[in-house]
Amino acid sequence: MSDKPLNRGPHDIGGEAAGPIDTTDHGMKFWERQANALRSTLGANGITCVDELRRAAEDLGDEYRGLQYFEITTRALRTVLLEKSIFSEEELKAKMAEIRARFNVPDEMESPIKAKAR
C-alpha cells in the first residue's frame, strides 16, 4: 500500500510543498468566463449547489491534479447534471457531436486541437 493519507482528497492540499508562485494574473479565456457564468446561473436558478459541484470535483481523484481549474469545474458540472437526470449521457454526447460539427472540429477526444488550444 502507498503511504497516501487516509481519505485525503486531491483538493485538500494545504501544507504540501510546492514551487514558487507566478504572481501574474493570466486572466480567463472566453470559454472559461462563459463556463463560469453558466455555473453561476445554475446556482442562482437553484439547479445545482456549490457543495455538490465541489464533491464531484474532489471525486475526480488522481485526475484532479492534471486538470486546469475550469476543466475540473466543467467535469464536475457534467457529473452533477447527469446525477440529477437533467440530461442523459447520450444526449450530451449527441450535443457535443453537433457542436463539433458546427465548429468543424474532428471528433477525437485527444486530437491535436486540445494541445493547440492550451
Partner 1 sequence: MSNPNFDYYARAKQEHGHDHNHDHDDHAPVNEHDNGPPSDYEIMSRAMQELLEEKGLITAEQVRRRMELFDEEFPYRGSRVIARAWTDPAFKARLLADGRAACAEMDIVLESERLIAVENTPDVHNVIVCTLCSCYPRALLGMPPTWYKSRNYRSRVVFEPRTVLHEFGTVLPDHVTVRVHDSNADMRYVVIPMRPEGTEGWSEEQLAEILTRDALVGVTVPRIGR
Partner 2 sequence: MAASAKPERQSFTSSYTPAPGHRYDVGDRVVVKRAFPPGHRRTPYYIRGKQGVIERICGAFPNPEELAYGFSGKPEKTLYRVRFPQQDVWPRYAGPAHDIIEMEIFEHWLEPASAESPPVKGQTP
Instruction: Identify the DSSP state of 101.
Output: H
Could you say which residues in the range 7-66 bind partner 1, by CB under 8 A?
11-31, 33-38, 40-45, 47, 54, 57, 65
**Closer CB to partner 1, residue 1 or residue 49?**
49
C-alpha span between 67 and 65 (Å, rounded): 6
Terminal CA-CA length for the chain? 35
Which region, left, alpha or beta, applies to residue 7 given φ > 0 means left and ψ of -120 to 50 means alpha?
A: left
Which x/- pattern, by CB under 8 A, does the window 19-58 give for partner 2? ------------------------------x-xx-xx--x
Interacting residues toward partner 2 by CB under 8 A: 5-9, 12, 14-15, 49, 51-52, 54-55, 58, 83-84
